[in-house]
Amino acid sequence: MSRVPGWLGRLGAGLSEMGERLDERRAEVEKEHTEPEPPADAPALAEPAPAPEPVPVTIARDRPDPALAVPWGVRVAAEAGWRLLILAGTLWVLMRVISAVQLVVLAFAAALLVTALLQPTVARLIRYGFPRGVATALTAILGFVVIGLIGWFVTWQVMANIDNLSDQVQNGVDDLRNWLLKGPFHVTEKQINQIAKNLREAIGANTDQITSFGLEGVQVIVEALTGILLSIFSTLFLLYDGPRIWQWSLKLVPAAARPAMAGAGPRAWRTLTAYVRGTVIVALIDAICIGIGIYFLGVPMAVPLAVFIFLFSFIPLVGAVASGALAVVVALVTQGVVVALLTLAVVLLVQQIEGHILQPFILGRAVRVHPLAVVLSVAAGGMIAGIGGAVVAVPLVAVTNTVVSYLKAYSQGTEPPSRQSPKPRGATALSSTPPEPPQPEPPAQS
């Protein structure tokens, strides 16, 4: 029997010992993962107690939801209130911005009015075959020359009659003084002298304020010249490049609202053009009629007064009253009470013809603004921006009324068929026709 080497025996013994250790370790691991069985004599464990049921939350029947406790009318008023506050805040910020750049805004508004007056002439020249630049230049030169000639003529008439007017004013003051002394008011010469003395003292005491007012007048003249230059440049660009300016403005509108605004633009421009054209015609008729009347009555400077009446007629209601009052005052001071009363009769007659015949016939249904809206808009415009604001207020209200009415009809699809496809003209003319508003489907025939 051969003998096994010692090292081989030791290796086998080591492997056997390692295997026994691995078996012991495996047995310990299995024992840890298995739950130990309770001994036979051990008492039985009680079953686990069931989880407690949730306690129901009871709400008192006499305490409803706070939102439901608020009356429906109050909730509607609150919803409308905070929206109105946001709109009022937005409008206040907008007014502050406009006040900061008031000169620019009024100059651009005046340019829009002049453009609405001159643009039909540009369009007519273009249809006759003139290039757009040539048509714009001819129309602008003609318009500005006419305006300049009117200004020069008024200045010339005033300067030519100023000496005669001052003499007539002095004679009128003397006649008024004599009438007060001999009239039914029992005014004494001492009282008249006291009034004249008080006037002189008031003028002497307010010399500094009068001087500062003169300096402010110089500043106003500079601002007026600046505004005139801005209006001229704006008018030229609007006449020449109006369609592209309108297309660029449409890009500022959200895409969803762009078709509606593209349809409202031509209607707004048509309303503005009708307003400006009708106002110019009515003002021209008023100026000619009143000017002829006061000329035959012998009132001095009839032509300059007629021009002032024409200019003041662009302020609805208020302008007619102010220009008529100016003519009556001049007649009273220069020609006496009888001629002043006759002048007042002429002014009132022409204004009645204007209000009941001219405006309804010339403006028609193109500009539909209630008289109350006219008065309130003129008052608000005058408070915000003076005379310029009063001039711009009414056309702004008329255009806003047209745009809002169209957008409402567009959203409901109830626009009258005769006004659904106006041909875009002027600054709102686009290269492509704006999309039509959706038409309501006809009811199914039974």
- What pLDDT digit, counting tens, does each position of 297-306 carry? 888 778 888 8
Residue 422 has pLDDT above 50, yes or no: no
Cα separation, 206 vs 198, whole angstroms: 12
pLDDT band at 3 (very low <50, low <70, confident <90, very high): low
Query: According to the model, what pLDDT value does residue 84 have?
Result: 92
Residue 278 has pLDDT above 70, yes or no: yes
Residues 317 and 375 sit within 8 Å (Cβ to Cβ): yes
Cα separation, 73 vs 82, whole angstroms: 15
Please compute the mean of the pLDDT values over residues 226-238 and round it to a whole number. 87
Please compute the mean of the pLDDT values over residues 317-338 and round it to a whole number. 80
Cα separation, 242 vs 139, whole angstroms: 15
Residue 85 has pLDDT above 90, yes or no: yes
Please compute the mean of the pLDDT values over residues 2-16 and round it to a whole number. 65
Please compute the mean of the pLDDT values over residues 386-400 and round it to a whole number. 82
End-to-end CA distance of the chain: 121
Residue 87 has pLDDT above 60, yes or no: yes
Give the predicted TM-score (pTM) of the model.
0.64
Please compute the mean of the pLDDT values over residues 200-228 and round it to a whole number. 65
Please compute the mean of the pLDDT values over residues 247-263 and round it to a whole number. 85
Residue 417 has pLDDT above 70, yes or no: no
Please compute the mean of the pLDDT values over residues 267-277 and round it to a whole number. 86
User: Which one, of 294, 322, 297, lies nearest residue 308 by Cα?
Assistant: 322
Higher pLDDT, 164 or 410: 410
Residue 132 has pLDDT above 50, yes or no: yes
Tokens of 264: 């409202």
pLDDT band at 119 (very low <50, low <70, confident <90, very high): confident
Higher pLDDT, 285 or 418: 285
Quote the DSSP letter at residue 424: P
pLDDT band at 40 (very low <50, low <70, confident <90, very high): low
Higher pLDDT, 112 or 391: 112
Please compute the mean of the pLDDT values over residues 380-406 and round it to a whole number. 82
Residue 106 has pLDDT above 60, yes or no: yes
User: Which one, of 266, 221, 274, 270, lies nearest residue 243 by Cα?
Assistant: 266
Residue-by-residue DSSP string for 67-118: HHHS-HHHHHHHHHHHHHHHHHHHHHHHHHHHHHTHHHHHHHHHHHHHHHHH
Share of the chain above pLDDT 90, in %: 2
Cα separation, 300 vs 105, whole angstroms: 37
What is the distance, to the nearest Å, from the Cα of residue 85 to the centroid of all Cα atoms in its chain? 18
Please compute the mean of the pLDDT values over residues 27-40 and round it to a whole number. 62
Please compute the mean of the pLDDT values over residues 251-270 and round it to a whole number. 86
Residues 290 and 304 sit within 8 Å (Cβ to Cβ): no
Query: According to the model, what pLDDT value does residue 47 have?
Result: 54
Residue 336 has pLDDT above 50, yes or no: yes
- What pLDDT digit, counting tens, does each position of 346-375 carry? 888 888 887 777 777 776 655 667 777 777
User: Which one, of 422, 426, 424, 423, lies nearest residue 122 by Cα?
Assistant: 426
Q: Give the range among 54-68, 100-114, 156-170 with minimum mean pLDDT.
A: 54-68
Please compute the mean of the pLDDT values over residues 209-221 and round it to a whole number. 60
3-state helix, strand, coil in the chain (%, to 5): 75, 0, 25
Residue 401 has pLDDT above 80, yes or no: yes
Query: According to the model, what pLDDT value does residue 29 have?
Result: 67
Amino acid residing at 5? P
Average pLDDT of the chain, as a whole number? 75
Query: According to the model, what pLDDT value does residue 405 have?
Result: 85
Query: According to the model, what pLDDT value does residue 246 have?
Result: 87
Quote the DSSP letter at residue 357: I
Q: Give the range among 112-116, 145-149, 202-206, 345-349 with minimum mean pLDDT.
A: 202-206
Residue 266 has pLDDT above 90, yes or no: no
